[in-house]
Amino acid sequence: MTGNNISTEPSGFSILEKNILFEDNHIIIINKLPSQIVQGDKTGDKPLSELVKDYIKVKYDKPGEVFLGVVHRLDRPVSGAVIFARTSKSLTRLNALLKDHEIRKTYWAVVKTKPPKENDTLLNFLRRDEARNKSFVTGENSKNAQKASLSYTLLAGSDNYYLLEVELHTGRHHQIRVQLSAMGCPIKGDLKYGYPRSNIDGSIHLHARKLEFIHPVTRQPVKVIAAAPNDPVWNYFSGISAKE
């Protein structure tokens, strides 16, 4: 699937619906395409949040402004599962789950260099440079340092790349990107954090693969798995994972 835009006319609903991982009266979870932005920014490109609002307005014949709360974000070149709240009540409760680390987030990352261990927990302190929109590993006592923790497991390898499964314990700016880079394993296509070449479409090979949490209203468990984008590298690793 290519392109940034999702039609919100009835004839185009099937395109958006292929990217819907979960939907009820309270929550909608979308498999974001690489290059889409979750919320509006200085580029002026229409964000995914507005596309989803248009979809809800037309599908459910909603009069007036549609409420849609952004629970969390993914960087523009990253793909995968993003949660939106359809009511203010669910937004408040989802924000609380996020703050209390009760939304389990699992990512896939493709790297060029084999990690030093097959599985490990990485603990760093990060400093964000707002002007450069970049984070750096720094000392624990450095000004504005924030603790960042994640665990990774080596899932598979090919002749050229390695697939890591990453579970976030904290949610810092560009956390997976900077921590894997600091380990010597920058993500494929991520020029900002040390990979030597960009991907043709401007994406990086980081994908929000799985989300697990207790629904804040129904109290039922929610688990979604987002298919990786359609490209040769992702297709190779998705095929291997499907066999396991």
Query: What does the chain look like in DSSP terms, one character per residue?
Result: ---S----SGGGHHHHHTTEEEE-SSEEEEEEPTT--SS--TT-PPPHHHHHHHHHHHHTT--SPPP-EE-----TT-EEEEEEESSHHHHHHHHHHHHTT-SEEEEEEEESSPPSSSEEEEEEEEEEETTTTEEEEE-TTSTT-EEEEEEEEEEEE-SS-EEEEEEESS--TTHHHHHHHHTT-PBTT-GGGT-SS--TTS--SEEEEEEEEE-TTT--EEEEEPPPPSSHHHHHHHHHHHH-
pLDDT of residue 175: 97
Question: In which residue are the tokens 């920014």 written?
Answer: 41
What are 109-144's pLDDT values in tens digits?
999 999 999 999 999 999 999 989 999 999 999 999
Percent of the chain past pLDDT 90, that is, above it, reads 79
Q: Return mean pLDDT, the chain.
A: 90
pLDDT of residue 243: 55
Residue 160 pLDDT exceeds 60? yes
- Out of 9-23, 37-51, 101-115, the most confident range is 101-115
What are residue 163's DSSP bridge partners? 110, 156
User: Where in the sequence numbering do the catalytic residues fall?
Assistant: 75
pLDDT of residue 199: 95
Residue 4 banded pLDDT, cuts 50, 70, 90: very low
pLDDT of residue 64: 87
Distances (CA, A) of 101 to 36, 89, 147, 188: 25, 19, 14, 28
pLDDT of residue 45: 79
What are 29-48's pLDDT values in tens digits?
999 999 889 986 676 778 89
pTM of the entire structure? 0.90
Q: Whose CA is closest to 154, among 182, 189, 180?
A: 180
Stretch 197-211: mean pLDDT, rounded? 96
Residue 6 pLDDT exceeds 70? no
Return the minimum-mean-pLDDT range out of 55-64, 78-87, 156-165.
55-64
Stretch 158-170: mean pLDDT, rounded? 95
pLDDT of residue 46: 85
Residue 146 banded pLDDT, cuts 50, 70, 90: very high
pLDDT of residue 63: 86
Is the CATH number of domain 10-243 3.40.50.2000? no
